[in-house]
Amino acid sequence: MAFGLFKKKENKVSEVKTGFLNLKVKEVIRETEDAMSIHFEQPEGETLSYKSGQFLTVIVNVNGKEERRAYSLCSSPYTDAYPAVAVKRVEGGVVSNYLNDSISTGDTIKLMEPNGNFTTEFASENNRHIVLFGGGSGITPLMSIAKSTLDQEPNSKVTLVYANRNKESIIFNEAIKEMSADVRFDVVHVLEAITDEFECHEGYLSQEIIGNVLKGVDVSNAEFFICGPTPMMDLTLSSLSALGVPDNQVRKESFVSAADSAKEDNANDGELVAREITVIYDGDEYKYTVEPDETILEKGLDEDVDLPFSCQSGLCTACRGKCLSGKVKMDEDEGLSEAEINEGYVLPCVSHPLTDDVVIEIG
């Protein structure tokens, strides 16, 4: 599952965690034919600390090569005894297929600590409407947010708009049915192939459907979260904007990143030439030359510099560093807040040196 993150621009610098965990698999649940949830035991003598909407980076060895992928937590730190992620098969997906085929109860998986900014703060005095738009496996972090809202905020409401191919592809279908027993929770299903088992819209998510949903929402007192395939998210974002929803009330997390295509475009940029850069990490200094078609992180890993990373798409911020001198070009910067950018923070996994004096300190 490729993914991306969007963080609401805030006037603060976020904390980036890069620690590692080894957690035992407590249970594997087959959610649909092509999706599973992996539930982990808590760390020995501890309780894993995470926020609803964050993700875990799974580190596995597949065919002799270490692979890392980020998967959103579907569990809530308030209602679930064990942290869990959901993994949907992706055509040609090295890690998603490996996990679906190979992981079972009792296995131990190496993980990076929870990270991500697709979150919100919960408080019992809140009285708001959380509106969630999900497509396919994009339901994963939205489930965490929905469960936490209902548990922590007795005066708040949650509306979930969930688009899928058909009834059989609805991940967490039974859990959603159980949540629907709460009068503060409402679900709107959008299915390409409709069912007579419950009310749903036929076809694809549209501005008309979104407009009908907003009729029951006090937009001035609402927060909107969007997660899913790029076309679905683009449609939702443009529709909310057209319907008068302010941008600062909307957060998104994408499961597809445009960073790869952006890097291809930048390879022909006349400003990008081979340049030697310096990376400071864990008190050590590393110098190496980055070619125009490479990122600073890619070259560092090729040089056996054990730099921290997760998504390699410029969206999770696990590799974040501060540019002490020089200038770099980032293919993607949505993972950083305006404050971070202003303070000189960059994301090496999507960065290319533009000057000969680039020095980046990580950690």
Comma-separated ranges of CATH 2.40.30.10 domains in the chain: 20-115
- Whole-number Å distance between alpha carbons of 94 and 238: 33
Name the pairing type of β-strands 55-62 and 108-115. antiparallel
3-state secondary structure of 119: coil
- Which amino acid, residue 23? L
Query: Which residue spans of the chain are classified as CATH 3.40.50.80?
Result: 129-254
- Full pLDDT tens readout for the chain, 363 residues: 333 333 333 333 334 445 789 999 999 999 999 999 999 999 998 999 999 999 999 999 999 988 988 899 999 999 999 999 999 998 888 999 999 999 999 999 999 999 888 999 999 999 999 999 999 999 999 999 999 999 999 999 999 999 999 999 999 999 999 999 999 999 999 999 989 999 999 999 999 999 999 999 999 999 999 999 888 999 999 999 999 999 999 999 876 443 333 433 443 344 689 999 999 998 899 999 999 999 999 999 999 999 998 888 887 888 999 999 989 999 888 778 878 888 899 999 999 999 989 999 998
The CATH 3.10.20.30 domain(s) of the chain lie at 269-362
Residue 351 three-state SS: strand
* Cβ(89)–Cβ(19) below 8 Å: no
Question: 3-state DSSP call for residue 268?
Answer: coil
Is-contact 235 190, C-beta < 8 A? Answer: no
What are the residues facing 72 on neighbouring strands?
55
With tokens 């910067």, the residue in question is 333
What DSSP line would sit under 312-340, residue for residue?
SSSSS-TT-EEEEES-EEES--TTS-HHH
R_g (Cα) of the chain, nearest Å: 21
Q: Which amino acid is at 120?
A: T
**pLDDT value at residue 5:** 36
Domain formed by 129-254, architecture: 3-Layer(aba) Sandwich (3.40)
What pLDDT is recorded for position 263?
39
Q: What is the pLDDT of residue 337?
A: 80
- Residue in the block written with tokens 């890097």: 263
Top-tier CATH class for 269-362:
alpha beta
Structural tokens at position 48: 């894993």
pTM: 0.75
Other C-beta atoms closer than 10 Å to the C-beta of 5 total: 29
Amino acid at 164: N
Asked if the 20-115 domain carries CATH number 1.10.10.10, the reply is no
